[in-house]
Amino acid sequence: MSATKNFVIATALAGSMYVSAQEGPACKKFSEIYNNGKELCENMWGGAFKYEENEAEAYTMWHFNADENPNDAITRVLAGNGKIANLPDGKVKQCHLEYYHKNGESHPINNADHPTEDPDKFSVCYPYAKDSCCFADTVSSEKKLKEGYGDEYRWDRCGQLSPACEQFFVMEGCFYECEPNAGIYRKHKADATHPDPFNGEQPLHMGGSEETNTWQLHAMPIKASFCNSWYQACRNDMFCAASGGDFFSCAKAWVPIDMDESAKALKGSCKGACNGKSFDGPCMCDEACEDQGTCCTDKNDVCMASWVPKLAGSCAGSCGKKSKDGTCFCDSLCSKNGDCCTDMAELCETVADGSCVGKCGKKASNCYCDAQCAKQAVPDCCSDFEATCPAQSGKSDCIPGTDC
Protein backbone atom coordinates (compact mmCIF):
# COMPACT_ATOMS: atom_id res chain seq x y z
CA MET A 1 0.00 0.00 0.00
CA SER A 2 1.23 3.48 -0.84
CA ALA A 3 2.25 5.71 2.03
CA THR A 4 -0.13 8.41 0.78
CA LYS A 5 -3.14 6.37 -0.31
CA ASN A 6 -5.56 4.11 1.43
CA PHE A 7 -8.51 2.18 -0.01
CA VAL A 8 -11.75 2.78 1.83
CA ILE A 9 -15.40 2.88 0.93
CA ALA A 10 -16.11 6.54 0.44
CA THR A 11 -19.15 6.80 2.69
CA ALA A 12 -19.84 7.05 6.40
CA LEU A 13 -18.68 3.78 7.90
CA ALA A 14 -19.86 2.10 11.09
CA GLY A 15 -17.33 2.88 13.80
CA SER A 16 -15.43 5.39 11.66
CA MET A 17 -16.32 8.44 9.61
CA TYR A 18 -14.72 8.64 6.17
CA VAL A 19 -15.93 11.57 4.10
CA SER A 20 -15.23 12.12 0.41
CA ALA A 21 -16.66 14.05 -2.50
CA GLN A 22 -16.65 10.77 -4.40
CA GLU A 23 -19.51 8.40 -3.71
CA GLY A 24 -18.81 4.74 -3.17
CA PRO A 25 -21.07 1.79 -2.42
CA ALA A 26 -23.25 2.15 0.65
CA CYS A 27 -22.60 0.36 3.91
CA LYS A 28 -25.60 -1.36 5.47
CA LYS A 29 -26.34 -3.97 8.09
CA PHE A 30 -26.13 -7.56 6.88
CA SER A 31 -29.84 -7.93 7.71
CA GLU A 32 -30.61 -5.03 5.36
CA ILE A 33 -28.57 -6.55 2.53
CA TYR A 34 -29.46 -10.23 2.91
CA ASN A 35 -32.78 -11.59 4.11
CA ASN A 36 -31.39 -14.88 5.36
CA GLY A 37 -28.46 -17.29 5.33
CA LYS A 38 -29.30 -18.47 1.83
CA GLU A 39 -28.92 -15.01 0.33
CA LEU A 40 -25.74 -14.40 2.30
CA CYS A 41 -23.99 -17.56 1.08
CA GLU A 42 -25.21 -17.35 -2.51
CA ASN A 43 -24.95 -13.59 -3.12
CA MET A 44 -21.86 -12.56 -1.17
CA TRP A 45 -19.40 -14.57 -3.25
CA GLY A 46 -20.92 -14.10 -6.69
CA GLY A 47 -22.53 -17.52 -6.94
CA ALA A 48 -19.50 -19.44 -5.70
CA PHE A 49 -21.62 -21.27 -3.13
CA LYS A 50 -25.04 -22.90 -3.14
CA TYR A 51 -27.25 -23.07 -0.03
CA GLU A 52 -27.99 -26.77 0.35
CA GLU A 53 -30.68 -28.03 2.75
CA ASN A 54 -29.83 -31.68 2.05
CA GLU A 55 -26.78 -31.61 4.30
CA ALA A 56 -25.85 -35.20 3.42
CA GLU A 57 -24.75 -33.77 0.07
CA ALA A 58 -23.27 -30.47 1.26
CA TYR A 59 -19.86 -29.28 2.45
CA THR A 60 -18.98 -27.38 5.60
CA MET A 61 -16.53 -24.49 5.75
CA TRP A 62 -15.17 -25.53 9.14
CA HIS A 63 -14.44 -28.68 11.11
CA PHE A 64 -12.34 -29.62 14.11
CA ASN A 65 -10.44 -32.77 13.19
CA ALA A 66 -7.28 -32.33 11.13
CA ASP A 67 -6.94 -36.11 10.78
CA GLU A 68 -10.31 -36.62 9.12
CA ASN A 69 -11.86 -33.97 6.89
CA PRO A 70 -15.66 -34.54 6.77
CA ASN A 71 -15.77 -32.92 3.33
CA ASP A 72 -13.93 -35.93 1.88
CA ALA A 73 -16.92 -38.08 2.82
CA ILE A 74 -19.29 -35.63 1.08
CA THR A 75 -17.26 -35.89 -2.14
CA ARG A 76 -17.44 -39.69 -1.96
CA VAL A 77 -21.22 -39.51 -1.57
CA LEU A 78 -21.63 -37.10 -4.49
CA ALA A 79 -19.30 -39.13 -6.71
CA GLY A 80 -21.18 -42.30 -5.80
CA ASN A 81 -24.46 -40.62 -6.71
CA GLY A 82 -23.06 -39.62 -10.10
CA LYS A 83 -23.11 -35.91 -9.26
CA ILE A 84 -19.36 -35.50 -9.63
CA ALA A 85 -17.80 -36.86 -12.80
CA ASN A 86 -14.34 -38.33 -13.32
CA LEU A 87 -13.73 -39.16 -9.66
CA PRO A 88 -14.28 -42.93 -9.66
CA ASP A 89 -12.88 -43.42 -6.16
CA GLY A 90 -14.42 -40.17 -4.89
CA LYS A 91 -11.12 -38.62 -3.81
CA VAL A 92 -9.42 -35.41 -4.92
CA LYS A 93 -5.71 -36.15 -5.34
CA GLN A 94 -4.41 -32.72 -6.37
CA CYS A 95 -5.33 -29.05 -6.16
CA HIS A 96 -7.31 -27.56 -9.05
CA LEU A 97 -7.57 -23.92 -7.96
CA GLU A 98 -4.82 -21.49 -8.89
CA TYR A 99 -3.57 -18.28 -7.31
CA TYR A 100 -1.83 -18.76 -3.97
CA HIS A 101 -2.63 -22.47 -4.04
CA LYS A 102 -0.44 -25.51 -4.48
CA ASN A 103 0.17 -26.37 -8.11
CA GLY A 104 -1.26 -29.69 -9.26
CA GLU A 105 0.79 -32.87 -9.05
CA SER A 106 4.04 -31.05 -8.24
CA HIS A 107 2.72 -29.99 -4.81
CA PRO A 108 1.38 -32.88 -2.68
CA ILE A 109 -1.83 -32.24 -0.77
CA ASN A 110 -0.42 -34.14 2.20
CA ASN A 111 1.68 -31.57 4.08
CA ALA A 112 3.90 -34.24 5.60
CA ASP A 113 4.95 -35.23 2.07
CA HIS A 114 5.46 -31.67 0.86
CA PRO A 115 9.11 -30.50 0.89
CA THR A 116 8.33 -27.05 2.33
CA GLU A 117 5.24 -27.55 4.46
CA ASP A 118 5.15 -28.31 8.19
CA PRO A 119 1.75 -29.36 9.60
CA ASP A 120 2.59 -27.60 12.87
CA LYS A 121 2.56 -24.23 11.07
CA PHE A 122 -1.18 -24.43 10.34
CA SER A 123 -2.32 -22.64 13.49
CA VAL A 124 -5.06 -20.38 12.09
CA CYS A 125 -6.41 -22.91 9.56
CA TYR A 126 -5.63 -25.89 11.78
CA PRO A 127 -8.31 -28.22 10.31
CA TYR A 128 -6.09 -28.37 7.21
CA ALA A 129 -2.82 -29.16 8.98
CA LYS A 130 -2.68 -32.66 7.46
CA ASP A 131 -4.06 -32.15 3.94
CA SER A 132 -4.36 -28.77 2.26
CA CYS A 133 -4.21 -26.87 -1.01
CA CYS A 134 -2.80 -23.83 0.78
CA PHE A 135 0.75 -23.10 1.83
CA ALA A 136 1.20 -22.43 5.55
CA ASP A 137 2.58 -18.96 4.85
CA THR A 138 -0.58 -17.94 2.95
CA VAL A 139 -2.74 -18.65 6.01
CA SER A 140 -0.25 -17.77 8.76
CA SER A 141 -2.54 -15.21 10.43
CA GLU A 142 -6.05 -13.76 10.32
CA LYS A 143 -4.46 -10.54 9.04
CA LYS A 144 -2.85 -12.42 6.15
CA LEU A 145 -6.19 -13.96 5.20
CA LYS A 146 -7.95 -10.59 5.36
CA GLU A 147 -5.38 -8.61 3.39
CA GLY A 148 -3.98 -11.28 1.04
CA TYR A 149 -5.84 -10.07 -2.06
CA GLY A 150 -5.50 -6.34 -1.48
CA ASP A 151 -7.33 -3.78 0.63
CA GLU A 152 -10.35 -3.76 -1.68
CA TYR A 153 -11.04 -7.36 -0.65
CA ARG A 154 -10.88 -6.80 3.11
CA TRP A 155 -14.02 -8.03 4.84
CA ASP A 156 -14.03 -5.07 7.29
CA ARG A 157 -14.31 -2.30 4.69
CA CYS A 158 -17.41 -0.97 6.46
CA GLY A 159 -15.81 -0.88 9.88
CA GLN A 160 -14.74 -3.37 12.50
CA LEU A 161 -16.83 -6.54 12.61
CA SER A 162 -17.97 -8.19 15.80
CA PRO A 163 -15.67 -11.09 16.80
CA ALA A 164 -18.40 -13.66 16.14
CA CYS A 165 -19.01 -12.33 12.64
CA GLU A 166 -15.34 -12.00 11.73
CA GLN A 167 -14.67 -15.62 12.69
CA PHE A 168 -16.94 -16.77 9.86
CA PHE A 169 -14.85 -14.81 7.36
CA VAL A 170 -11.74 -16.49 8.75
CA MET A 171 -13.45 -19.86 8.28
CA GLU A 172 -14.37 -19.02 4.69
CA GLY A 173 -10.84 -17.78 4.01
CA CYS A 174 -9.34 -21.04 5.27
CA PHE A 175 -11.91 -23.02 3.29
CA TYR A 176 -11.19 -21.29 -0.02
CA GLU A 177 -7.43 -21.34 0.36
CA CYS A 178 -7.01 -24.81 1.87
CA GLU A 179 -9.92 -27.15 1.06
CA PRO A 180 -8.87 -29.70 -1.61
CA ASN A 181 -12.50 -30.51 -2.48
CA ALA A 182 -13.19 -26.90 -3.47
CA GLY A 183 -11.35 -27.42 -6.77
CA ILE A 184 -14.14 -29.70 -7.96
CA TYR A 185 -16.30 -26.62 -8.32
CA ARG A 186 -13.83 -24.42 -10.17
CA LYS A 187 -15.77 -22.23 -12.57
CA HIS A 188 -14.88 -22.68 -16.24
CA LYS A 189 -16.43 -23.35 -19.64
CA ALA A 190 -16.48 -26.80 -21.18
CA ASP A 191 -14.63 -25.44 -24.23
CA ALA A 192 -12.24 -23.19 -22.31
CA THR A 193 -8.73 -22.75 -23.67
CA HIS A 194 -7.23 -23.74 -20.32
CA PRO A 195 -7.00 -27.54 -19.86
CA ASP A 196 -9.95 -28.97 -17.95
CA PRO A 197 -8.57 -30.55 -14.75
CA PHE A 198 -11.11 -33.34 -15.17
CA ASN A 199 -10.22 -34.24 -18.77
CA GLY A 200 -13.28 -32.76 -20.40
CA GLU A 201 -15.88 -34.27 -18.08
CA GLN A 202 -17.83 -31.62 -16.23
CA PRO A 203 -18.29 -32.17 -12.51
CA LEU A 204 -21.52 -30.91 -10.97
CA HIS A 205 -22.19 -27.15 -11.30
CA MET A 206 -19.10 -26.44 -13.40
CA GLY A 207 -20.90 -24.68 -16.25
CA GLY A 208 -20.70 -20.96 -16.93
CA SER A 209 -20.72 -18.34 -19.67
CA GLU A 210 -17.26 -16.90 -19.01
CA GLU A 211 -13.87 -18.01 -20.30
CA THR A 212 -11.75 -20.21 -18.07
CA ASN A 213 -11.50 -18.91 -14.55
CA THR A 214 -8.72 -20.69 -12.72
CA TRP A 215 -9.53 -19.24 -9.29
CA GLN A 216 -13.29 -18.78 -9.01
CA LEU A 217 -15.75 -21.31 -7.59
CA HIS A 218 -19.27 -21.92 -8.87
CA ALA A 219 -22.27 -23.27 -6.89
CA MET A 220 -20.37 -25.45 -4.42
CA PRO A 221 -23.06 -26.85 -2.09
CA ILE A 222 -22.64 -25.57 1.48
CA LYS A 223 -24.62 -26.85 4.45
CA ALA A 224 -27.66 -24.66 5.11
CA SER A 225 -26.96 -24.74 8.85
CA PHE A 226 -23.52 -23.17 8.30
CA CYS A 227 -24.99 -20.37 6.16
CA ASN A 228 -27.74 -19.73 8.71
CA SER A 229 -25.22 -19.51 11.55
CA TRP A 230 -23.10 -17.07 9.54
CA TYR A 231 -26.14 -14.86 9.00
CA GLN A 232 -27.09 -14.90 12.69
CA ALA A 233 -23.54 -13.96 13.76
CA CYS A 234 -23.32 -11.03 11.32
CA ARG A 235 -26.88 -9.78 10.96
CA ASN A 236 -26.25 -6.50 12.83
CA ASP A 237 -22.73 -5.87 11.51
CA MET A 238 -22.03 -3.57 8.58
CA PHE A 239 -21.04 -4.69 5.07
CA CYS A 240 -20.82 -3.26 1.56
CA ALA A 241 -24.24 -3.26 -0.15
CA ALA A 242 -23.13 -2.98 -3.80
CA SER A 243 -24.96 -5.41 -6.14
CA GLY A 244 -26.86 -7.00 -3.30
CA GLY A 245 -23.75 -7.51 -1.20
CA ASP A 246 -21.63 -9.11 -3.93
CA PHE A 247 -18.03 -9.12 -2.59
CA PHE A 248 -16.51 -8.80 -6.08
CA SER A 249 -18.74 -5.87 -7.08
CA CYS A 250 -17.82 -4.14 -3.84
CA ALA A 251 -14.12 -4.54 -4.64
CA LYS A 252 -14.59 -2.95 -8.06
CA ALA A 253 -16.50 -0.04 -6.51
CA TRP A 254 -13.68 0.95 -4.19
CA VAL A 255 -12.01 4.30 -4.76
CA PRO A 256 -8.62 5.58 -3.52
CA ILE A 257 -8.88 8.25 -0.83
CA ASP A 258 -6.04 10.44 0.43
CA MET A 259 -4.82 9.59 3.90
CA ASP A 260 -5.66 13.19 4.81
CA GLU A 261 -9.32 12.24 4.34
CA SER A 262 -9.11 9.00 6.30
CA ALA A 263 -7.37 10.90 9.11
CA LYS A 264 -10.73 12.50 9.78
CA ALA A 265 -11.89 9.23 11.30
CA LEU A 266 -13.24 9.79 14.77
CA LYS A 267 -10.72 8.68 17.36
CA GLY A 268 -11.17 7.49 20.91
CA SER A 269 -12.13 4.43 22.95
CA CYS A 270 -15.30 3.24 24.69
CA LYS A 271 -13.39 1.99 27.73
CA GLY A 272 -15.31 3.26 30.76
CA ALA A 273 -17.63 5.26 28.51
CA CYS A 274 -20.32 2.83 27.35
CA ASN A 275 -23.64 4.61 26.67
CA GLY A 276 -21.91 7.97 26.39
CA LYS A 277 -19.06 9.94 24.80
CA SER A 278 -15.49 8.65 24.74
CA PHE A 279 -13.20 10.14 27.40
CA ASP A 280 -10.25 10.41 25.00
CA GLY A 281 -11.79 11.41 21.70
CA PRO A 282 -14.87 12.71 19.85
CA CYS A 283 -16.39 9.30 19.09
CA MET A 284 -19.50 7.96 20.84
CA CYS A 285 -20.45 4.74 22.63
CA ASP A 286 -24.23 5.10 22.88
CA GLU A 287 -27.01 3.32 21.04
CA ALA A 288 -27.53 6.14 18.54
CA CYS A 289 -23.93 6.16 17.31
CA GLU A 290 -24.49 3.19 14.99
CA ASP A 291 -27.12 5.06 12.99
CA GLN A 292 -25.08 8.26 13.05
CA GLY A 293 -21.76 6.64 12.12
CA THR A 294 -20.02 8.14 15.17
CA CYS A 295 -19.19 4.98 17.18
CA CYS A 296 -15.69 4.37 18.53
CA THR A 297 -14.04 1.49 16.72
CA ASP A 298 -13.89 -0.65 19.87
CA LYS A 299 -17.54 -0.19 20.87
CA ASN A 300 -18.57 -3.75 20.01
CA ASP A 301 -15.65 -5.23 21.93
CA VAL A 302 -15.74 -2.99 25.02
CA CYS A 303 -19.48 -2.46 25.36
CA MET A 304 -22.33 -4.81 24.72
CA ALA A 305 -21.93 -6.15 21.16
CA SER A 306 -24.39 -4.71 18.65
CA TRP A 307 -25.72 -8.18 17.88
CA VAL A 308 -26.76 -8.86 21.51
CA PRO A 309 -30.52 -8.27 21.99
CA LYS A 310 -31.35 -5.02 23.76
CA LEU A 311 -31.91 -5.47 27.49
CA ALA A 312 -35.56 -4.80 28.11
CA GLY A 313 -35.91 -5.43 31.88
CA SER A 314 -37.00 -2.75 34.32
CA CYS A 315 -35.38 -1.19 37.40
CA ALA A 316 -38.74 -0.95 39.16
CA GLY A 317 -38.03 -2.12 42.72
CA SER A 318 -34.46 -3.08 41.78
CA CYS A 319 -32.39 0.11 42.08
CA GLY A 320 -28.85 -0.72 43.10
CA LYS A 321 -29.03 -4.36 41.97
CA LYS A 322 -30.04 -6.74 39.21
CA SER A 323 -33.51 -6.38 37.70
CA LYS A 324 -36.21 -8.72 38.96
CA ASP A 325 -36.34 -10.61 35.66
CA GLY A 326 -32.54 -10.96 35.69
CA THR A 327 -31.94 -9.43 32.25
CA CYS A 328 -30.20 -6.16 33.18
CA PHE A 329 -28.75 -4.11 36.06
CA CYS A 330 -29.61 -0.95 38.00
CA ASP A 331 -26.36 -0.29 39.89
CA SER A 332 -23.50 2.17 39.57
CA LEU A 333 -21.47 -0.14 37.33
CA CYS A 334 -24.03 -0.89 34.65
CA SER A 335 -23.24 2.19 32.55
CA LYS A 336 -19.59 1.14 32.44
CA ASN A 337 -20.48 -2.45 31.61
CA GLY A 338 -23.18 -1.59 29.10
CA ASP A 339 -25.88 -3.66 30.84
CA CYS A 340 -28.22 -1.05 32.41
CA CYS A 341 -31.97 -1.54 32.19
CA THR A 342 -33.60 0.88 29.79
CA ASP A 343 -35.37 2.81 32.57
CA MET A 344 -32.34 3.00 34.89
CA ALA A 345 -31.86 6.79 34.57
CA GLU A 346 -35.58 7.44 35.03
CA LEU A 347 -36.19 5.25 38.09
CA CYS A 348 -32.83 5.22 39.87
CA GLU A 349 -31.48 8.74 39.67
CA THR A 350 -30.24 8.62 43.27
CA VAL A 351 -28.40 5.28 43.20
CA ALA A 352 -25.33 6.47 41.36
CA ASP A 353 -23.41 6.55 44.64
CA GLY A 354 -24.20 4.39 47.67
CA SER A 355 -22.73 5.02 51.11
CA CYS A 356 -20.22 3.08 53.23
CA VAL A 357 -21.77 4.21 56.51
CA GLY A 358 -22.12 1.01 58.55
CA LYS A 359 -20.79 -1.05 55.64
CA CYS A 360 -16.96 -0.90 55.94
CA GLY A 361 -15.45 -4.14 54.71
CA LYS A 362 -18.74 -5.09 53.07
CA LYS A 363 -20.92 -4.37 50.07
CA ALA A 364 -23.23 -1.40 50.19
CA SER A 365 -26.45 -1.23 48.16
CA ASN A 366 -24.77 -0.64 44.84
CA CYS A 367 -21.03 -0.25 45.56
CA TYR A 368 -18.31 -1.68 47.79
CA CYS A 369 -16.48 -0.65 50.94
CA ASP A 370 -13.75 -3.29 51.19
CA ALA A 371 -10.01 -3.20 50.57
CA GLN A 372 -10.40 -4.61 47.06
CA CYS A 373 -12.82 -2.12 45.53
CA ALA A 374 -10.15 0.40 44.52
CA LYS A 375 -7.98 -2.33 43.00
CA GLN A 376 -10.52 -3.48 40.41
CA ALA A 377 -9.95 -2.79 36.72
CA VAL A 378 -13.01 -0.57 37.03
CA PRO A 379 -13.03 0.67 40.67
CA ASP A 380 -16.40 0.05 42.34
CA CYS A 381 -15.95 1.79 45.73
CA CYS A 382 -18.70 3.99 47.16
CA SER A 383 -17.97 7.70 46.89
CA ASP A 384 -17.49 8.11 50.66
CA PHE A 385 -15.25 5.01 50.97
CA GLU A 386 -12.01 6.79 51.93
CA ALA A 387 -13.67 9.13 54.41
CA THR A 388 -15.84 6.48 56.06
CA CYS A 389 -13.50 3.45 55.97
CA PRO A 390 -9.92 4.66 56.55
CA ALA A 391 -8.62 1.20 57.53
CA GLN A 392 -9.86 -0.48 54.38
CA SER A 393 -8.80 2.41 52.15
CA GLY A 394 -5.32 2.57 53.71
CA LYS A 395 -5.61 6.31 54.29
CA SER A 396 -5.12 6.16 58.08
CA ASP A 397 -4.93 3.75 60.98
CA CYS A 398 -8.11 2.21 62.20
CA ILE A 399 -9.27 3.62 65.53
CA PRO A 400 -10.50 0.86 67.85
CA GLY A 401 -14.19 1.04 68.53
CA THR A 402 -15.01 2.90 65.30
CA ASP A 403 -16.93 1.51 62.35
CA CYS A 404 -13.71 0.45 60.64
Is residue 324 predicted with pLDDT exceeding 70? yes
Residue 377 lies in a domain: yes
pLDDT of residue 252: 79
SS3 category, 328: coil
56: helix, strand or coil? helix
Query: What does the H/E/C string look like for 67-108?
Result: CCCHHHHHHHHHHHCCCCCCCCCCCCCCCCCCCCCCCHHHCC
Q: How far apart are CA 155 and CA 233, in angstroms?
A: 14
pLDDT at 230: 96
Cα(109)–Cα(241) distance, rounded to whole angstroms? Answer: 37
Q: Does residue 216 contact residue 40 with C-beta atoms inside 8 Å? A: no
Q: Give the amino acid at 2.
A: S
Count CB-CB contacts under 10 A for residue 317.
10
For β-strands 27-29 and 238-240, DSSP reports them as: antiparallel
Comparing 171-185, 343-357, 390-404, which segment has the lowest mean pLDDT? 390-404
| pLDDT for 288 | 75
- CA 291/CA 13 separation, integer angstroms: 10
Instruction: Say what the pLDDT of residue 396 is.
Output: 56
Question: How much is the pLDDT for 248?
Answer: 86
pLDDT confidence tier of residue 125, bands split at 50, 70 and 90: very high
The reply to whether the predicted model has a pTM over 0.75 is no
342 within some domain: no
Smallest CA-to-CA distance from 138 within 127, 148, 130, 129 is with 148
Tally of domains within the chain: 2
Tell me if 15 is assigned to some domain: no
Q: How confident is the model at residue 352 (pLDDT cuts 50, 70, 90)?
A: very low
Q: pLDDT tens across 243-279, in order?
A: 889 988 888 776 544 333 433 456 778 877 777 777 7
Distance CA 73, CA 83 (A): 14
Q: Element (H or E) spanning 334, and its range?
A: helix 334-337
Min mean pLDDT across 96-105, 202-211, 288-297, 364-373 is at 202-211
Domain limits at 63?
Answer: 24-253
Percent of the chain beyond pLDDT 70? 74
CA–CA dist 274, 156 (Å, integer): 22
Domain boundary among the residues 217, 234, 253 is at 253
Predicted pLDDT at 337: 63
From 253, 285, 313, give the residue that closes a domain: 253
Residue 258: burial class (beta carbons within 10 Å; 0-12, 13-18, 19+): exposed
Residue of 290, 309, 286 whose CA lies nearest to 28? 290
Residue 57 lies in a domain: yes
Determine, yes or no, domain membership for 297.
Answer: no
In a domain, 279, yes or no: no
- Tens digit of each residue's pLDDT (9 = 90 or more) over 53-66: 999 999 999 999 88
Q: What residues contact 149, with CB distance under 8 A and at least 6 apart?
A: none
Identify which of 364, 353, 323 has the alpha carbon closest to the alpha carbon of residue 340.
323
Domain final residue, candidates 221, 253, 285: 253
Q: What is the pLDDT of residue 205?
A: 54
Q: What is the DSSP string of 187-243?
A: ---TT-SSPPTTTTPPPTT---SSSP-SS-B--EEEEHHHHHHHHHHHTTSEEE-GG
Give the CA distances from residue 34 to residues 27, 39, 43, 244, 306, in Å, rounded to whole numbers and listed in that order.
13, 5, 8, 7, 17
293 inside domain = no
Mean pLDDT calculated for residue range 150-162 = 86
Q: Which pairing describes strands 49-52 and 220-223: parallel, antiparallel, or unpaired?
A: parallel
- Residue 320 resides in a domain: no
**DSSP string computed for 361-375:** TSB-SSSB-STTGGG
